Amino acid sequence: MRALLLVLCGWLMLGLSVAWAYEEVQVTDGGTITGKVTITEGKPIPKGFNLITFPDPVYCGRISTGTGWRILHEFTLAQDGGLQDAVVLLTDATKGKPFTFEPPTIEAKDCRFLPFVSVVRDRSEVNVVNMDPVFHDIQAYETSHLGPRVLFNTPLPMNPHHKHNVGADSHEHLAGQPMHEVIRMTKDRRIFVMQCGFHAYMESWGLAVDNPYFAITQADGTFSLRDVPPGDYTLMAWHPGVGTMTEQKVTVPAQQRVQANFVFESPKGRRSAHEIEENPHYGMGSLGKFVDIKPTLELQKP
């Protein structure tokens, strides 16, 4: 968690400004912005978590390396470097098409928060549901002028009809009581991150939007923003694993298509305190008994 908070503090230095006022108008001559987000030099070193140091190693180990490690796959790349799950947003769109926003639902499933990336809205809800037969805990943060600030911290109950003493062969998912939490960002902050207090490898990230001109990139890294009123805008791209935001100016002519691409540089070196490193003190027998961790759902590869 300390490494996670340091990353959030880094984003604080970006000095992002948020224009909260947005006017809905009829758009009859809007244009379209299309493009692609890519990353250079392939995937960075993934974060690896030794399951024996966290609760529920057998159940959560159904997704693991087969050697007792759980990997957090933050980057999904196409063969040509197209980056999935990047958020692209017009940061200064003050008027345009209707802004209807459906609060996101994040599921705790197989000891993952899904989806990994979403969009949120200030003063709006985010819904979290536990689908697992184990307990989870929500810890949500944003950046502020004082550093990371807790948005909410609450237990995430599981469905009482789940079986007890679940193992690696348990694949049952029953929805627990949904938790409805309201996001209250402080001024000019956009970054939202949620982590499980019990299982540190469970993360979900969000970007706060204040207008309807946003998109999350597809599996090939592409995006499209439609019905944009003609004018000059600032287009921003963000991905939580990269740790930086990038922007460019775009001019949208009436009823025309504009191409805008983004290229991120793959992070280098050690990115967190969590990396796969064989240590006999944290082997599957370190608890005084052998713990049989089997990747029955997904065999992960670094």
Contact partners, residue 52, CB within 8 Å, separation at least 6: 68, 282, 283, 284, 286, 287, 291, 293
Question: Tens of pLDDT along 110-139?
Answer: 999 999 999 998 889 999 999 999 999 999
Q: Which domain holds residue 175?
A: 2-299
Tally of structural domains, the chain: 1
Predicted model pTM: 0.85
Element (DSSP H or E) covering residue 214: strand 214-216
299, with CB counted inside 10 A (0-12, 13-18, 19+), is: exposed
Question: Tens of pLDDT along 234-284?
Answer: 999 999 998 788 999 999 999 999 999 999 998 876 666 666 666 656 666
Strongest mean pLDDT among 4-18, 131-145, 186-200, 222-236: 222-236
CB 124 within 8 A of CB 103: yes
**Among candidate residues 51, 74, 43, 46, the one with its CA nearest the CA of residue 271:** 46
d(CA 7, CA 4): 5
